[in-house]
Structure 1
Amino acid sequence: MTFVKKLLATLALTVLPALALANEGGFALDKAPERASLSSLQNGAKLFVNYCLNCHAASSMRYNRLKDLGLTDEQIKGNLLFAGDKVGDLMTTAMRPADAKAWFGAVPPDLSVIARAKASSAGSGGDYLYTYLRTFYKDDTRPTGWNNMVLPNVAMPHVLWQLQGVRTVKMAEEKDPHDHSKTVHKFAGFEQVTPGSMTAADFDTAMADLVGYLEWMAEPAQQTRKRLGVWVLLFLSLFVLLTWRLSASYWKEVK
């Protein structure tokens, strides 16, 4: 690969994600809490199957891979499978693409690696998803009645509204920093219209679990890779130490 091609590839990997985020509104992303415990990932898997899998597929993931999260075949069958599905099946959706496009204006994306696909210079894919799932608000001008701060004019309805409740956005007027004769509207928070079945803190916790599962699903071997990485670094550190002492002993004899 020539230098020019390498430069263009580097720019594509660094600049384009930032531009994509800017096109999606440039809303500041919240840091997604770490979720590595099996109980959190199991709850995230339950939320994913109950609220996401109706429209979104995860065609790179099989139900039986959930056994890596400590679930048994019987638990998967009893709690996470739709009628007619088998433990060894892929996580697909019964919704036809043509119907999805007619209802939402776009086919819902496959979520197998969405946590990796949404990573950008502004934050990890988990940060993006965590903020996105928590910033829906009521907007009667939209076909679905909902909008989103991270992804303005989103086609997806707020499928978790019963958990979070109904919220609207509050906008504050400020002087345009470039032209003081004009005013601009700036996001000033959310206003709760009707409560959900969860408190705000509980909803944030649930979304953290869901995002943790999406991150795990994008790379199920991630935790194993990290553990192996620690042992590899320890081995290399020991090897460097032995090499350093051997080199010092050798040159001492030479002198």
Structure 2
Amino acid sequence: MKRLITLILLASLSFCGYASGDMELQEADIDPSNSESLQRGAKHFVTYCLGCHSVKHMRYQRMAQDFGIDDKKVLKDIAIQGATIYDQLHTAMNKHDAEKWFGVQPPDLSLIGRSRGADWLYSYLKGFYNDKTKPLGTNNTVFKDVGMPNVFWELQGLQKPVFHLVDGQQQIEKLVISEPGKLSEPAFDLMVNDLVNFLVYAGEPIQLERQRLGKYVLFFFLIFSVIAYKLKKEYWKDID
């Protein structure tokens, strides 16, 4: 148990030391009210991510409700074949196979949008580059020595790093396409942005409702403060 805790702490310290990376994070354009973007992002997640990662707190029915679309459309355009509208987004990969192939079970991504933030996710998904020294042949500008393969290489193409010297040490200045993919750069950026938009939504599906109710709560506190102030003046006028 002590060994496991030590390994976790070492991994956390290693990651935190690289959290800022050599390159600045790119800004994602997140809009949880954009139903079309969320639908595309959900489809991208099911197509490219669900093979390894789950979003276990999300059901297809909830997505249909929040996206404002019919259940049949969700099952046809988003869900995996054979899924029911009440199913959660669970990966088909079992723990044994995951540990055999990757050394560790890929994490559930239900809260990744809240824990890492949209800009981190957007930069991470766009930050894979060729690195022949790594077992999977890739590395990442945001998460150094990441154990995840670049699942988007066919769409984005292959990237290589351009280095520059900083205090005598090589750092990545930028990434350039060494082999074009199926999508143009703007099209790939839109795809990644839609996926990040979905992951941010999945972390807090109630966000829009919370913001809507928040306005009424603030209005209530404003009115209550005025009433409380007038009552205070009335109760204390004889003492003053």
In the superposition, the TM-score normalised over structure 1's length comes to 0.80
Match of 2:80 in 1: 82
Cα 1:20–1:128 shift into 2, 3 Å: farther
Measured against aligned partners, the alpha-carbon deviations of 1:83-132 in whole angstroms (never above 9, x if no partner) come to: 332111121121222222222222111111222233xxxxxx22221111
Query: Which stretch shifts more, 27-36 or 216-225?
Result: 27-36
For structure 1, list consecutive stretches of 5 or more residues without a partner in the other structure. 1-17, 119-124, 177-182
Match of 1:236 in 2: 221
| 1:1-255 equivalent positions in 2, closer than 5 A | 21-27=15-21, 28-36=24-32, 37-67=34-64, 68-118=66-116, 125-174=117-166, 176=167, 183-248=168-233
Query: How many angstroms apart in 1 are the aligned matches of 2:229 and 2:107?
Result: 52
RMSD, aligned CA: 2.3
Deviation at residue 249 of structure 1 after TM alignment: 6.0
SS of 1:74's equivalent in the other structure is helix
Query: How many angstroms apart in 2 are the aligned matches of 1:93 and 1:83?
Result: 13
Asked whether the equivalents of residues 140 and 146 of structure 2 are also in contact (C-alpha less than 8 Å), the reply is yes
Letter in 1 for 2:92: A
Cα 1:198–1:245 shift into 2, 3 Å: farther
Letter in 1 for 2:17: N
Measured against aligned partners, the alpha-carbon deviations of 1:143-165 in whole angstroms (never above 9, x if no partner) come to: 22211111111111111112211
Asked whether the equivalents of residues 45 and 195 of structure 2 are also in contact (C-alpha less than 8 Å), the reply is yes
Letter in 1 for 2:58: M
For structure 2, list consecutive stretches of 5 or more residues without a partner in the other structure. 1-11
Query: Which stretch shifts more, 20-29 or 154-163?
Result: 20-29
Query: How many angstroms apart in 2 are the aligned matches of 1:98 and 1:254?
Result: 75
Query: Which stretch shifts more, 240-249 or 85-94?
Result: 240-249
Query: How many angstroms apart in 1 are the aligned matches of 2:239 and 2:103?
Result: 77
Query: How many angstroms apart in 2 are the aligned matches of 1:102 and 1:156?
Result: 13
Deviation at residue 248 of structure 1 after TM alignment: 4.8
Query: How many angstroms apart in 1 are the aligned matches of 2:92 and 2:137?
Result: 24
Query: How many angstroms apart in 2 are the aligned matches of 1:226 and 1:57?
Result: 27
Larger RCO, structure (CA 8 Å, separation 6 or more): 2
In the superposition, the TM-score normalised over structure 2's length comes to 0.84
Query: How many angstroms apart in 1 are the aligned matches of 2:18 and 2:102?
Result: 18
Identity, in percent, stands at 39
Query: How many angstroms apart in 2 are the aligned matches of 1:239 and 1:253?
Result: 23
Query: Which stretch shifts more, 43-52 or 189-198?
Result: 189-198
